[in-house]
Amino acid sequence: MKTDTRLLIADDWEDYALLDSGHLQKLERFGSQTVIRPDPQAFWEPARATDSWRADARFSTKSSEDDGAGNWDVLSPKALDSWPMQWNGLTFEARRTAFRHMGVFQEHSVHWRFAQEKIRAAGRPIKALNLFGYTGMMSLACAAAGAEVVHLDASPKSNGYGKDNQAMSGLNDRTIRWIADDAMKFTAREIRRGNTYDAIILDPPKFGRGPKNETWRFEENLPELLDTVKTLLSDRPLFVILTAYAVRLSYLALSQALADRLSPLGGTMETGEMALPQQGTGRLLPTAIYARWHSG
């Protein structure tokens, strides 16, 4: 297996921009709306004084955790609770949530495009499994490229938003199964059923709960989940994508754990960090670590 260390920069957006960052905050444009959110990695000096930043809303929290709950302070009469955005022909709804998120993880466009390119180049039917799929942008990207998709998230509400995004993107004629379940239980059942997938995407949180209050802890549960991923791959696997946020791990740990399972397949393992480019400067805001394997 070949290994390639790469920094992936999400620079393929028109509807999103990182306008400034620093002093543990970031100023961002999501379509028609501009927001200020905390970011624990932005401990440098901002390009402009933060008291000069102008936004429609600001998120505030006393928690240092990336998923800590807080409140949105509305700063403009033009502020919206939800609004449409686009990426590469896909339409979806952005929204301000109670956990600072915006209904999309925009840095993942680097993986959406990668998945689309691999699926289109495969020249055969592709079945994809998207675990911890949130509001479904990866599922939409794979479906738009021609894959049959199984989308799994523990939150029925997130799946509902995903279905809405599918309709907004004009993809109701594409096959996406929206399933609310615990990832560990679902993958175990899929193995018993004998189901396999050509592509598997995993974007697990640091900590989470399933629909029946099942507990997910990244460091404890990921190894077992990776074992099931290996078993669920088809005889002609195309790719596996794994990302991680807010964990005390190096991307080397991710890639080596994934390589333990996939090295007999050959192919290429790419690993490194993901980042957002700041508009008008050479600054990059790190967002996540990743490991992704592809057959060639």
- pLDDT of the residue at 209: 85
Q: Which pLDDT belongs to residue 44?
A: 97
pLDDT at position 65, please?
Answer: 57
pLDDT in tens, 105-137: 999 999 999 999 999 999 999 999 999 999 999
Looking at residue 85, its pLDDT comes to 98
Check residue 258 and report its DSSP letter.
Answer: H
156-184 tens-digit pLDDT: 999 999 999 999 999 999 999 999 999 99
Q: In this predicted structure, what is the pLDDT of residue 296? A: 86
The helix (run of H) or strand (run of E) holding residue 285 is: strand 284-294
Question: For residue 284, what are the β-bridge partners?
Answer: 277
Q: What is the mean pLDDT of the chain?
A: 95
Listed residue (123, 240, 243, 112) closest to 165, CA to CA: 112
Answer whether 259's CB lies under 8 Å from 269's CB. yes
Residue-level pLDDT at 276: 98
Residue 66 pLDDT level (bands cut at 50, 70, 90): low
**Gap between the Cα atoms of 228 and 153, Å rounded:** 17
Q: What percent of the chain has pLDDT over 90?
A: 89
pLDDT of residue 247: 86
Q: How many CB atoms lie within 10 A of CB 194?
A: 6
228-255 pLDDT, tens digit per residue, is 999 999 999 999 999 999 888 999 999 9
CA dist list (Å): 165 to 46, 83, 92, 254: 34, 12, 5, 30
Q: Is the pLDDT of residue 193 over 60?
A: yes
Q: Give pLDDT, residue 195.
A: 98
Match 């624990």 to its residue by tokens.
Answer: 40
State the pLDDT at residue 63.
61
> With 90 as the cut, is the pLDDT of residue 218 above it?
no
Alpha helices in 81-182 (DSSP H): 109-122, 137-144, 156-168
Whole-number Å distance between alpha carbons of 129 and 127:
7
State the pLDDT at residue 98: 87
- Give the mean pLDDT of 270-286: 97
- Bigger pLDDT: 62 vs 206: 206
* Whether residue 97 has pLDDT greater than 60: yes
pTM for this one? 0.95
What domains does the chain contain, in order, with CATH numbers? 2-9+106-294 (3.40.50.150), 16-88 (2.60.40.1180)
